[in-house]
Every structure is written in structure tokens, then in C-alpha cells.
Amino acid sequence: MELLNNLALGFGVAFTPINLMYCFIGCILGTLIGVLPGIGPVATIAMLLPATYALPPVSALIMLAGIYYGAQYGGSTTAILVNLPGESSSVVTTIDGYQMARKGRAGPALAAAGLGSFFAGTVGTLILAAFAPPLTELAFKFGPAEYFSLMVLGLVGAVVLASGSLLKAVSMIILGLLLGLIGTDVNSGVARYSFDIPELTDGIGFVVVAMGVFGYGEIISNLSRPEDEREVFTAKVEGLFPTKEDFKNMLPAVMRGTALGSLLGVLPGGGALLAAFAAYTIEKKTKLRPGEVPFGQGNIRGVAAPESANNAGAQTSFIPLLTLGIPPNAVMALMVGAMTIHNIQPGPQVMTSNPQLFWGLIASMWIGNLMLVILNLPLIGMWIKLLTVPYRFLFPAIVLFCAIGVYSTNNNTFDIWMVAAFGLVGYVFVKLGVEPAPLLLGFILGPMMEENLRRALLLSRGDWFVFATRPLSASLLGAALVLLVIVLLPSIRSKRAEAFVED
Amino acid sequence: MIKSQKDFFSGLMFTAIGGAFAWGATSYSVGTAARMGPGYFPLLLGILLVALGCFTTIYSLIEHTEDGEKIGDFAWRPVVYILGANVAFGILLAGLPRFGLPPMGLIAGIYALTVIASKAGDVFKLKEVLMLATFLAVLSYLAFIKLLNLQMPVWPFFITG
């Protein structure tokens, strides 16, 4: 019953005209960047963070969240119609989605993605609402040692579940932690690594890092490749509704995708991308029903399952953020930043100190999902038109919005020079094949980790075993260790490499 | 012989950065585990990063890794034009008081940024680019200045006075 009361409070907040409007804006922007390949939710949220300064905190977070899950919807449109993932989490949707479009079944494919996402979004939001309070209770039992161990687990999980070289990902985390330490140390007042530059004593803004590395770095690397040939199926989208047979095939796939996505979304490093990959892999393993189209040739399950999974994952990845204050992926790291801008300390106390914000945000997610189905299915034609806008008109606009956004954070040109520097750094990362997402996680967690380490060791009088003797902390560290060992086992290692390569 | 070029150089990068941070940390008070000084955590992380970087570099000499192929050409053209556009925008927007450059405002900055950034692409048609710049200038003026009320110089100093 308490859940119902809480949800009622949330819907009360979310249904005010101003919040409905920002939810709508967020969903539109999310769909927009989801549809457009070459710009992702991380760069967009970073760009818009400064603009949310003037908004009330609830509206700001509602809008930013809308961008994230809206991008999951939009990404599928591009994947199905152009064979390009509009969003990284739609990579696997291209396999069967595009084949369906080629066979003139773009409509059912889009409907499967949209309806599957809506179902998954609803379930994901309910799970978030149901599990957030008990997890918050647990979080209040955490001392500094537990928090430190939890962050270690979070960071380890983030690299273990990500693709690419483990060694380089761990190095990127540490680099991020170090960059996060730049600026004035809260305990001693010493300005670390700031070279007597006044702007650096406040630390490097995470907006600067995110925009430079994810925004500019990506643009430069996109421009250094020849432009992809785009073949857009614009005329063929008619007969949106799937047949009865489609529904029969779709339904179990949507269920499986939703369950898997909800589960993986909670894990650190999980979220939308991993969920989509895992869901597709599972669908491929299940038996084909007689008369069903094989995978890779336009099977509707190959669209419904990953799209449901990525949307469910996008919703449940809010759980660690809202209950523990620990971001499980780069987008959530930016949400931490957004909360800090509005003077909200992310963590278990948000639910009790800002119940309107907490439940309002959750309720808005369901409303947003509903808006997205309407935005994406009947209005699909509008988004298809967008795909005909060439990249040469888009990237100057992205550069401009980054520059304006970064300047308005502090009204200081120093940030503009810094974002240029990080743009160069971001391109170097691309060239060296290192993933930037772990860097951003480390960057956000750096100061928090130092503070908790310091407090834990102060309480234990310098005894490092405190992390192993407190049961909660020990089990968290144990889980991190198990994850590392599992991923380093040769047999799993080759499987992991396989899972991220699709045939 | 280097077997994985990307790994070799990323290892070197991590070693250098980690070393720099560790070296810098020694200039702050390090303290003990029970009473950490400002240098303690960065020193610890710096050393860890050096170790990981060295390992990556050495490993790249022994074995091919999955994502360790050749680095390839550095795309100077987009780097210079994109970052140059960004810097030009900053200079025009707020000026450089230290060098006596007055602010020229947002609108001038948008035109400069759009033209310079567009040079980074393969196709450059001045007429198209100027149309795009005008569109972006109007859009930014309405969205950022009128709607969101962000504070920044909009017109050149000689107009606003």
C-alpha cells in the first residue's frame, strides 16, 4: 500500500503541466539523438546540463532521464530503416530489423520495437519503484568501509561487463580517479595539480570532460572515416501493425528480454547495451517454431527481445543511482552531476529528504514511455525525414551546442579551452582503442572514493584489514574478486570476446 | 618488435601520466594510512597506473591482443578545424582581455564556428554553410538567450557599447 501512496505522490508531481512539458521535451530530444547516428545520450545530456540550471531540480532530472530512455526508442528506428545503429544499444537490432525492412515489413518491426520497449519500460519502472525502498534501507547500514568496497565492486563490474581490453579499462578508471582528484582537497585545503590556475582549484568540470571526450572526440573520429552509405527505406513504412502470428512470436521474446534487461540494468557497467546483446544471444539459442523466419533474415523476435531488453535496462540502471548514489554507467554518472548542480547529494537520503523528486522522477518515466510510443509509432514519418539530413549539417551544430553549453556552466572561457583539450584527448583515446566510459565513472567517483577510504582507515587507525573484517564490506569485495577471476578464466574470456562480436 | 601498436602506446601513455601524478603527489604531504595527507591517494593511484601501464606495454611486445592493431593515420584535418572552431568561438564570444581583444558576442562567434568547423568535412559549399550558420544563430538566440535566459555577450562590443 505504501508503494501505491508513493506512486500517487509521484504521479501528482509528474502530472503538473511544467513537468509534463519537460518530460515531453526530454523524450523528443532523446528520440532525436537516438535516431541520428553519431551523437549519443552522454554527449547530449552533458550539453544540456548547464541549460537545466534555471529549472527546478525535479523538472531538470525528468528531462535528462527522458533523453536517456528516449534514445533507446529512437535508436531502433535507425537500426531498422537504415541498418545503422542510431544508438550503441541498437547494434543487434540492425541484424534482423533491417532484414525485415528489406522484405517490406518495416512497419511490424518498428511496432515490435516500440510496443516491446513500452512493455519493458513499464515493468522496469515498476521494478524500480518496488525495489528502491528496501535497497535504500540497506544503504543506511553502510559505513565508509562498505561504501568504498561498493565503489570498488561497481568499478570492477563496469569493466568486467564492458567490451574490450580489461587491462586498459582498469587503467582508464584509475586515470579517471586521478583526474577527479584535481582541485582543492576538502580535508587539507591544498589545491592539488592546479598549477596556480584559479579555475583549476575548483577541479575540472565533468561537463568539460564528458563533452570533450564524448562530444568532440566522437565527431573528430566520425569525420576521419568516409561517410557511410545510407539507404533509407522511406516509402515502405505502411501497415504498422504486426499480424497475429507476429504477436504470438513476439510476446515470449518481449518477456524474456524484459526480464534479462531489468536484471542486467541494475548491475554496474550493465545498462542498455549489454542487455540488448544478451537478449539477442538468448533468442538465438531458443528453438525456431515451425515456419518461423531464421535469425539474421528478419525474425521479429530478433527485434523485440533486444529492444525490450535495452529499454528495461535503461530504467533499472537508475536503481543503484537513486538508492546508493553510485552511478552504474556513464549516463548515470552525468545524472550524479545533474543532482550535484541542483545541490542534491545523491544517495539513500534522496528518497526521504526529496520524496517529490524521487517518486516524481520514477512516475515521469512511465509517462515518458507512454509519450514515446505515441511519438515513435504514429509520428514515425517525421523521424524518417530527419535521417535525410546529412552529417555535414549536424556536426557544426553539435560543436556549437557543446561550446555554448560549456561556456554557460561557469560563464568562463577557460572551460572552452579545456573542452578543446579534452576533445584532443578523446580523439587520442579513440586512436589508442581505449574506452572512455570507465574514465568518466572513475572521474565522478574519485573524490567520493578518497573520502570514504580516508574515513574508513581513520576509524580503523590505519588498519587495511577493516575492509575484509566487516562482513558487508568483505562480501562486496569478494564479489568484485569473483567477477575478476571469472572474467580472467581463459574459457570465459574467449566467450566474452565472442558475445560482443556479432555475425 | 611491437606486436600490438595500440596497446604499446596506450601503455606508455598510462605510465607517463601515472608517473606525473605520482611525482606531483610527493610535493604534497603524504601522511599515513590512518591520517592521510592530500598526497596519499594520488600517490597510490599514480603508482598503480604506472604498474598497469608498464604491464600493458611489455605485454604488447609479447602478444597480439584483440583490439591492439595498428594506430593508423592521425586525422589532423578534423582535429585542427573542430578544435580551432571551438577556440575561435571562445575568443569571439567573450574576447581575450589579457591580449586586449574585445568581445564580439555570440552571433559573430556562431558564424565563425560554423564556417571553420564545416571545413573539417569533405564537402564545403560556402552558401550552404552560411545558411546553416544563420539558422543556428537564430535558433541559439531564441533558445539560449530568449527562452533559457543564459547570460553571455550577444552583439559585438561596438554595438552594445
Whether A457 and B33 lie within 8 Å, measured CB to CB: yes
**Which of A29, A39, A228, A400 would you mutate first to test chain B, the one with the most B CBs within 10 A?**
A400
CB pairs under 8 A between A and B: 202
Position A90 scores a pLDDT of: 79
**Which of A192, A222, A455, A465 would you mutate first to test chain B, the one with the most B CBs within 10 A?**
A192
The answer to whether A451 contacts chain B (CB < 8 Å) is no
In eight-state DSSP terms, residue B30 is -
CA B30 from chain centre, in angstroms, equals: 31
Residues of A in contact with B71 (CB under 8 A): 431-432
Whether B83 and A216 lie within 8 Å, measured CB to CB: yes
Facing residue for A403 by CB, picked from B6, B49, B113: B113
Whether B117 and A395 lie within 8 Å, measured CB to CB: yes
> How would residue A502 be classed by pLDDT, with cut points 50, 70 and 90?
very low
**Amino acid identity at A82:** V
**pLDDT above 70: percentage of residues in chain A:** 92
Helices A471-488 & A490-499 angle (0-180, nearest 10): 80
In eight-state DSSP terms, residue A191 is E
With a CB cutoff of 8 Å and minimum separation 6, the contacts of A382 are none
CB contact residues (below 8 A), chain B span 74-133, against chain A: 74-75, 77-79, 82-83, 85-87, 89-91, 93-94, 96, 106, 109-110, 113-114, 117-118, 120-123, 129, 132-133
Q: Which residue has the higher pLDDT, B112 or B97?
A: B112
With a CB cutoff of 8 Å and minimum separation 6, the contacts of A345 are A325, A339
- Determine the structural domain holding residue A447 and report its residue range: 2-499
Number of domains forming the structure of chain A: 1
Position B1 scores a pLDDT of: 65
The answer to whether A244 contacts chain B (CB < 8 Å) is no
Angle at A115 between CA A110 and CA A119, to 5 degrees: 150
Per-residue pLDDT tens over the stretch A265-322: 887 666 677 788 888 888 888 878 777 788 888 888 888 999 999 889 888 888 888 8
Residues of A in contact with B66 (CB under 8 A): 164-165, 497
The answer to whether B149 contacts chain A (CB < 8 Å) is yes
**Coil, strand or helix at A346:** coil
What's the Rg (C-alpha) of chain B? 24
Closest residue in A to B87 (Cα–Cα): A417
The answer to whether B60 contacts chain A (CB < 8 Å) is no
Residues of B in contact with A185 (CB under 8 A): 38
With a CB cutoff of 8 Å and minimum separation 6, the contacts of A257 are A116, A120, A275, A279, A283, A304, A305, A306, A307, A308, A309, A312
The answer to whether A417 contacts chain B (CB < 8 Å) is yes
Whether B86 and A399 lie within 8 Å, measured CB to CB: yes
pLDDT at residue A238 tops 70: no
Position B116 scores a pLDDT of: 93
Positive or negative: CA dihedral A223, A383, A230, A115: positive
CA A201 – CA A189 distance, rounded (Å): 10
| Distance to chain A for B14, nearest Cα, Å | 7
Burial of B64 (0-12, 13-18, 19+ CB in 10 A): exposed
Q: How many helices (H) and strands (E) does chain B have?
A: 6, 0
**Quick one: three-class SS letters along A150-177?**
HHHHHHHHHHHHCCCCHHHHHHHHHHHH
State ipTM.
0.90
Per-residue pLDDT tens over the stretch A480-494: 888 888 777 765 655
The answer to whether A402 contacts chain B (CB < 8 Å) is yes
Residues A235, A107 contacting (CB under 8 angstroms): no
Per-residue pLDDT tens over the stretch A460-478: 888 888 888 888 889 889 9
Least confident of A191-200, A237-246, B13-22: A237-246
Position A499 scores a pLDDT of: 53
Residues A104, A234 contacting (CB under 8 angstroms): no
Per-residue pLDDT averaged across A420-427, rounded?
Answer: 92
**Amino acid identity at B60:** S
The answer to whether B145 contacts chain A (CB < 8 Å) is no
**Coil, strand or helix at A184:** strand
Partnered with residue A192 across adjacent β-strands are A183
Q: How many CA atoms lie within 13 A of A108 on its CB side?
A: 21
